[in-house]
Structure 1
């Protein structure tokens, strides 16, 4: 008889190939060992494989069959080969997960620390087949009180929790590699645990280990996910995309792991509340924390909450593994709250559904045109216009009262007006009332420019196709992932600009992008150090508690912790004056430099002045503004993140204008402007309307809002 010590380990089945002489001898030993049960499932599974619609060609035959011995069950199962086995087991995933997606996910190795909540997560990942290997860690043994949430049995009591999980997964899929760290994770082993992983799931109770795991994951640029079984709280920390991101989203500040080690359950409570938020805990969880150490041994967890959390984590891992957008942050999948919002379902009457942009669809067609126009981009989100609509026309009037010093001669405002007119044309085309449009100079009292769209009965399929994108357009200031923009995409962007009478000039090579980063970073430094420009820059910013219907929501700056600190310092005029006196402050350009360097391209929209118009006439800028809107929409349609860049010299057309803008730095700005035009190869006769940073990046965390449109429902 074969010795049982040679037949696998306590959590891993032994897979035997009878065509291998050594495996055949082991199999013979098993057959000769009393009380070992054999169960041949090949016939049943072959029949099931035959019932599959569109079965894959696994390339396996009878010679790939395996005998799988489970020592803790004293049982042998006879199974088809791994590809056939998984084709059957995962067939019902299709097409929520396609076979190609399952193949891609099978390359991901996931580590799960903590096997109470982590047991349900690891098993769900194995059950869905969304990983290729698992690494499990827990030092603790299963107790009866764990069985309220751990899907184990009485037979598992006193067995290491990670082994319990691994055994259960092995009985689901013996071909899935599972590694167990029964000693758990500590300061000496945290780095070793995360080495070789693709994703880390952290579900342990020890606060110091939670922090250590995050620090290890951050050093190795690994995404980390944690689910907390109260109100469906899910945390995602994309250290792979943001290696400088603070652990726990910065909620514990500078707390070190040593401060968290060895705490009693009661002593952990303040930190737990700090992480979860006293106001966001469910009433029952918050009340239970008060009772910990009194009437309760520890905080409560329910099996249903744990299972829900496993589903949330599995969904997040699918998105990461498939390269779909998933940013760092926190969300809740709160079933209790959802049940409070139960409502009767809508009955399908067979009518065409409403436009998916429902918040922007209330009101009349002319209202919708106004709302779409209001979604156009403008420098600092100042929305430098007034909008008026009548049955016969829509008018967009430039309002100089909104302009800033950098908006020399209202040129930037004219670009915004042109973009708003483009959006209005798009909406009019979508609702079949498109007519002619024109720009009128000085026809409105106090305004140098008015854009007019006449309502007709026409349409334009190309314009109409931009309508949902115009409503969804956003600025994305996240760091880019790098990556080259395909030539076909750049060609499409250039065509969008040309369609509106402008030209796109792009820098998409690494040396050019780095050169542009240096120019734009130095321009930002000058903006900080010029008192008027500094004052106006921070006047545009909107902070928590401010009215967010105009200006730049500071959350949209997508700041890393060190950048938030820098911005707080950057707000201080006295500090900027000191840096100016030192001829210092190079770090003031870091934000722009880092983002430009992470880009895939920098593009400028340029136009040639009408020879019959006065130099710097606003109609040229307005027409280029329409090109800005059209190109921006095309970029987002192509999967690109778009951020406008506003160098101080953007709308300057002379050395005199630069001197009025920043007397102390006029010469430096003139040099920067020359270098900027040289990098982009802008001819002397052309003017620049706007500069855009294009990148591949995670989704923006917030989207800018707009002022209400008089007479229209302007909810966003």
Structure 2
């Protein structure tokens, strides 16, 4: 029998003090209220009291000397006026029990007798006088602040409370204290497991029992962000010390919408960083400069939009270092961050920097509330630079520069994404000694590397004896951007082309039939036999290298030799291929595409569908695509696409600019506008893409000019053709690193 546990249970004590399990609120008894005596006596009879602290006379005495600075405490001449003052404050019984205020703190069962609120405040802030003027102190006390995140935020809140800033605070944090928090937050060890928001409230009430605190123990969520910011009383300023990176972005978007400044402190070894966003002065500046106005309700609606953010520790380091700026990270912090996940389990922080962050942030908050000239921006507060005599020496600067260079290189390794495993398929894994069906099944690994609109991968494969059947997966259709499924069939055609090229390379002959089913959809039957052929075998190696590049290309002329080879790729008389490199025609087509893109973006259903497939840069999903934004902005890219027409104020759309700055475009057209021809156009498109890859070029496809009926007709007119344009490709030489889009595994698209 565990005697210790048995004895502990007999004490009937709770695992945590009961007060830590619910919002702490002091009970206030104002002696001037009519029912004071009755209520207070009843309370004393029914409530456990551990300790009574009544030094009311000492408080009155200190108040007298505050109000009468001409008297000295130790001079005899002050005794008579002091006595008169004390006597004037006695109650009808000649005591002080019926004057001032009685406070009961339920979390420690202490009763205190204190001065009324005005006198308590004057006395408590007396030593602030003219460091903060009385007018300024009143203004600061009447402010309402919101503090989200209560580790460093705890230091901020307490520093502000000590300074007499913000009687009213809204505090939010969903977490509880762990033992590892005790290196940087002023709480006793027996508060481990207590909610941070409740502990902070207790601490503030113990400084100012008259404080008005509104608590959000669930943290900030989609359900309470509106109340936190603009619910009565409305905030004057937001302090953000949250760990939730996505919410850090959304609280800024929300604050921007209602013109609230946001201040944030960041630990940096022994030093600190303060970020200030003065949305109250310039709602169009800061981290969202260039974005159109987004109202609060729209922002709130977007909080849970898109995929959940599930970051690894390395990804958190990568993202956080971008917020700080890798070159601004202190060298000791650089060393610590490199050890996270190796010898350190979580984020490195020091008590010195946490308390420094509290002081720095409180200073900025005070300055903003008092109308001082504090601008938006990032400020580094370096104690190292202030106190270390050799900080500026050539030797120290050289060491820091070398370490920072290595740290930036380390961060870049975190930024470089691993190639998704499906792209690393090896030809040596081809089952040479396997059955024909085994060999056919292996071809799917190459088929799925084909491009598709929004990377929807709208294909599914089934096997029959010696046959591979390729069908459209209608669950991945795009009813708003591709109502006729033209783009889906182009994607199917690209997957078919990869299959045929891979089959030929591995010594298989193929016979392809298009079969129309009862739903007027095309099913592709690929019959294979072990008979060597040569169907674009030279392009096989490019299947695992080809990728779509949505960035700007270099303005480098494409050699004539490549253009000649390009024209040889089309062997179907029912298809045409137009290569356009001349500036005037290309620029006209760029403008036409731009107008089509702008028109498409006006359609909320189109944007909603597009947003569904946009992924952030940390996605774990195996479909969809990133739109090339920096990591931080990528977290809200789906929301922005869904809720905001980003092209609304643009003179030129992004697609217009991309084509205008590309050396050439290619248009693939078909004689008839049918599903069979869409598939064949998709085959030629993939052949072109592989050929471009083989010659060191990149490409991207642009569908708006084809899908938009008016621009489609204008395109035919400009080209002077009777064929139907189906694929609009821009090509050029890339600038940045290769970025492979994810793919579903072949097992996910294959049914036996």
**Which structure: larger Rg?**
2
TM-score range, shorter chain: 0.3 to 0.5
TM-score by length of 2: 0.44
TM-score by length of 1: 0.46
